[in-house]
Structure 1
Amino acid sequence: MKNDLSAAAGFKDTVPTLSGYVGVGLAFGIVAKAAGLNVIMIVLMSAITYSGAAQFVIVSMLLAGSSFSAIILSVFLLSARMLLMGMTVAPVMKKESLLRNVIIGSLLTDETFALSMNKLNYTNRQLSFPWLNTANVVAYLTWIIASGLGGGLGSLIPNPNRFGLDFAFLAMFIGLLYLQVASDRTLDRRLQVLMIFITLGLTYVGMIFIPSNLLLIIVTLVGCGLGVWCKHAFF
């Protein structure tokens, strides 16, 4: 990754993350097809909802016969973390117009957010609309195409986990986390490692007591608070 913030650089920087979108997109398409959705419905859900975890939840709740309002509430709670991510990116994009910020926020994902946070280490804490918008659009189109292909192949791959497709996103995030820690010189390396273990501990304990659709946002808020305290108290 370099300090180039052009659209071409956005495409190049995003390519290594696409395996995650392809793997989980195929898995979602296969699962949705098995649940009775056709390819058109799968593609439309990916294009409109555009949230891997939320889409899996929607399919499972449809199968369970959940009400429309319950599905909407669950998806909102599961996606509430995007408010925090959007607020983190917003100050870096404050020179851009409102319309451009709306476009960026609408297509921002966990992966492009992590990618942009890593990019800040190479660009003197700057981002550009061409770079981030290209990263978002490439990821968006890849997700739609992959989920559509998964729907088409649904009858041919009854168990996507057998091929490790369920691990694709996790492996991608591990890689992005490593790159972030390796390249970030603004924070003490000991603090970064400490916060990784604290976050893992909070997640492990939280899985016991907190509903899954609230876990991520609660761990994020608590982890951020503890990170600020640790930084000022010990580093």
Structure 2
Amino acid sequence: MNNNLDYKTGIKDTLPTVFGFIGIAMAFGVIGKSAGLSTALVGLMSLLVYAGSAQFITVSMLAATSPILPIILSTFLVNSRMILMSMTLAPYFKDESLGKNILLGSLLTDESFGLAVNKLNFTNDKLSFSWLNASNTVAYLTWVISSILGAILGNFISDPKKFGLDFALVAMFIGLLYLQVLYDKGLNKTLQLIVIAITLALTYLGLIFLPINLLIIVVTLITCGIGVLVKNAFF
């Protein structure tokens, strides 16, 4: 990464994450196909819903003939974390129009959020609409196209886990976390490691007591609170 915030640089900065999108989107396409969805429906879901984990949950609930209301509620809960992410980035775009902010928020992903947070380390805490819009657009197009390809390949691939496609997204997040810890000059490294350890512990315990739909948002809120307390008390 560098300190440029133009559209072209946004595309360049996002390209390393594309392989993660391809892997998990193709896995979704394969799973959607095996659940009985047509290739067109798989593509339409990625085009309109555009929510990785929620799409997997939706497909599994549709296959189980779940009512529509629980499916909508589950989708909202799984993606409620995006509210927190959008609020975190919103101050950097306060001078942009409402329409541009809605566009950025609508296409924001975990990956583009992670890239944006890392980018702040190189730009003196500045972001631009062009850069983030480019990142979002690359992610969006990659997801839609790859999920359609996955649905097509679903006619020949019965189990995506055999190819490691289920681990692609996890690997990408590990890489983003590593880059954030490596380049973030604003936070003490010890503090960052403490927060990471707390997050891992809470996630492990949360898997025992909480439904997966609520786990991410609950752990995020609790960890953020603990992180602020630890920072103010010891750093």
- Bin for the TM-score computed over the shorter chain: over 0.9
Residue in 2 that maps onto 1:84: 84
Give the aligned residue type for 1:223.
T
Give the aligned residue type for 2:202.
L
Q: Deviation digits for residues 65-102 of structure 1, max 9, x if unmatched?
A: 11001100110111110100000010111111111100
Residue in 1 that maps onto 2:9: 9
Q: Secondary structure at the match of 1:66?
A: coil
Partners of 2:100 and 2:63 in 1: CA distance: 38
Q: Secondary structure at the match of 1:191?
A: helix
Residue in 1 that maps onto 2:127: 127
Residue in 2 that maps onto 1:229: 229
Segments of structure 1 that go 5 or more residues without pairing to the other structure are none
Q: TM-score, normalised by structure 2?
A: 0.99
Q: TM-score, normalised by structure 1?
A: 0.99
Pairing of 1:66-105 with structure 2 (within 5 A) = 66-105=66-105
Partners of 1:94 and 1:173 in 2: CA distance: 28
Give the aligned residue type for 1:190.
T
Give the deviation of 1:189 after TM superposition: 0.6
Partners of 1:172 and 1:60 in 2: CA distance: 24
Partners of 2:156 and 2:66 in 1: CA distance: 29
Q: Deviation digits for residues 22-53 of structure 1, max 9, x if unmatched?
A: 00000000000011101110000001000110
Residue in 1 that maps onto 2:210: 210
Pairing of 1:142-161 with structure 2 (within 5 A) = 142-161=142-161
Give the aligned residue type for 1:115.
L
Partners of 2:160 and 2:56 in 1: CA distance: 14
Give the deviation of 1:159 after TM superposition: 1.1
Residue in 2 that maps onto 1:64: 64
Q: Secondary structure at the match of 2:10?
A: helix
Give the aligned residue type for 1:32.
G
Partners of 1:79 and 1:175 in 2: CA distance: 22
Partners of 1:58 and 1:227 in 2: CA distance: 33
Partners of 1:11 and 1:63 in 2: CA distance: 36
Q: Deviation digits for residues 101-139 of structure 1, max 9, x if unmatched?
A: 000000000000011000000001100000000000010
Residue in 2 that maps onto 1:178: 178
Give the aligned residue type for 2:10.
G
Residue in 1 that maps onto 2:25: 25
Residue in 1 that maps onto 2:51: 51
Partners of 2:99 and 2:146 in 1: CA distance: 28
Segments of structure 2 that go 5 or more residues without pairing to the other structure are none
Percent identity, please: 57
Residue in 2 that maps onto 1:111: 111
Partners of 1:131 and 1:26 in 2: CA distance: 26
Give the deviation of 1:195 after TM superposition: 0.6
Provide runs of 4+ in structure 1 moved above 4 Å: none
Give the aligned residue type for 2:19.
S
Q: CA RMSD in A?
A: 0.5
